[in-house]
Amino acid sequence: MLVNLKDIIAMAESGNYCIPAFNVYNMETVMGVLKAAEETKAPIIMQVYPRLMKEETGYFLSPVILAAAAKASVPVCFHLDHGPSTLETTRCLRYGATGIMLDGSTLPLEENIALTKSVVDTCKYVNVQVEGELGHIGTTKDSEFDEFTSPESAKYFVEQTGVTCLAVAVGTAHGKYTKPPKLDIERIKEIRKATNNTALVLHGGSGVPDEEIKKAVAAGVRKMNFATDICYAFLDCCLEELQNPERSVAIDNFMKKPIDAVKDFCISRIKLVGADGKAE
Ligand SMILES: [Zn+2]
């Protein structure tokens, strides 16, 4: 069933685990993620890059996500990832999203607050909640990380904006890591404490060592994003299949293995963050 961001985060909060948020790109990745959630009886978030909302893809992909959520026996939230402006956030709401991220992390603090709050206020009218970002989470290609999120500014940001969850910079990055990242677990605990236990979000979950992920969840991370490794699971399998002389050229049959590759990856992450069996 389709649920909003507030309700799915509340499940994680009361059960002391984390909701995995998987980026989806096409119908096949939606099918793989849904299969994983159903098999493990896990509540999950399906999220889309903002560029999909700017381009035509969002128009076609959104109904696929909504169809998957309607069919699901587990809670599914349809979320926008890294919305940079009200163009993407409004369009994604129009297409049926039940969670919105507004990423103003590259703006000065007060501008980030003003933009995030305006999106929180709009989303309220349709019972949708917002994820904000404070402390910019860069990419693995950056030569150095920006400053990590400070607990004091996180407290101020959450109070001023009314976000439901907050993405924080604590050592992760987007993309493929060249060496395993080390997370600032103490900082996660401090931010939780300072923000009256606001649900924290970890971006760049692909490639973070399992032990670090477990510690982050125990410290209060309630949503963890996986995007890069979904792409690799899907595309590596496609490339392998192309070498297979027995492969089917009928696209629907060809896609069966890549769909299962996405499913297998998602199942491993669902179990790692403790979401398996939580939708029973
Ligand atoms: Zn991200």
pLDDT tens by residue, 96-138: 999 999 999 999 999 999 999 999 999 999 999 999 999 988 8
Q: pLDDT by residue (tens digit) across 47-83?
A: 999 999 999 999 999 999 999 999 999 999 999 999 9
Look at residues 210, 201, 214 and name the one whose alpha carbon lies nearest to residue 174: 201
Gap from CA of 84 to ligand 1 centroid (Å): 12
Is 201 among the domain residues?
yes
Gap from CA of 51 to ligand 1 centroid (Å): 13
Q: Quickly tell me which residue has 């699901």 as its tokens.
A: 72
Q: Are 139 and 120 in contact (CB under 8 A)?
A: no
Q: pLDDT at position 133, please?
A: 97
Question: pTM for the whole thing?
Answer: 0.96
Q: pLDDT at position 272, please?
A: 97
Gap from CA of 254 to ligand 1 centroid (Å): 30
Residue 165 is classified by DSSP as E
Q: Does the annotation count 121 as an active-site position?
A: no
Gap from CA of 9 to ligand 1 centroid (Å): 17
Is 278 among the domain residues?
no
Is 113 among the domain residues?
yes
Is 75 among the domain residues?
yes
Is 41 among the domain residues?
yes
Gap from CA of 79 to ligand 1 centroid (Å): 12
Is 136 among the domain residues?
yes
Q: pLDDT at position 142, please?
A: 78
Report the number of distinct structural domains present in the chain. 1
What values do phi and psi take at 247, rounded to 5?
Answer: -60, 155
* pLDDT range class, residue 280, cuts 50, 70, 90: confident
Is pLDDT larger for residue 179 or for residue 150?
A: 150
Gap from CA of 242 to ligand 1 centroid (Å): 31
Gap from CA of 138 to ligand 1 centroid (Å): 8
The rounded distance, in Å, linking the Cα atoms of 190 and 201 is 14
What Rg do the C-alpha atoms of the chain give, in angstroms?
A: 18
Look at residues 77, 30, 24, 78 and name the one whose alpha carbon lies nearest to residue 52: 24
Q: pLDDT at position 232, please?
A: 97
Average pLDDT over residues 240-255: 95
Helices 185-194, 210-219: crossing angle, 10 deg rounding: 20
Burial class (CB in 10 A: 0-12, 13-18, 19+), 244: exposed
For 61, the domain range is: 5-272
Is 204 among the domain residues?
yes
Joined together, the tokens standing for residue 182 give 């080390």
Contacts of 29 (CB under 8 A, 6+ apart): 22, 23, 230, 234, 262
Q: pLDDT by residue (tens digit) across 183-213?
A: 999 999 999 999 999 999 999 988 899 999 9
* pLDDT exceeds 80 at position 144: no
What is the overall mean pLDDT for the chain? 96
Is 231 among the domain residues?
yes
Sequence length of the chain is 280
Gap from CA of 247 to ligand 1 centroid (Å): 35
Q: What CATH number is associated with residue 26? A: 3.20.20.70
Catalytic residue among 81, 103, 184, 229: 81
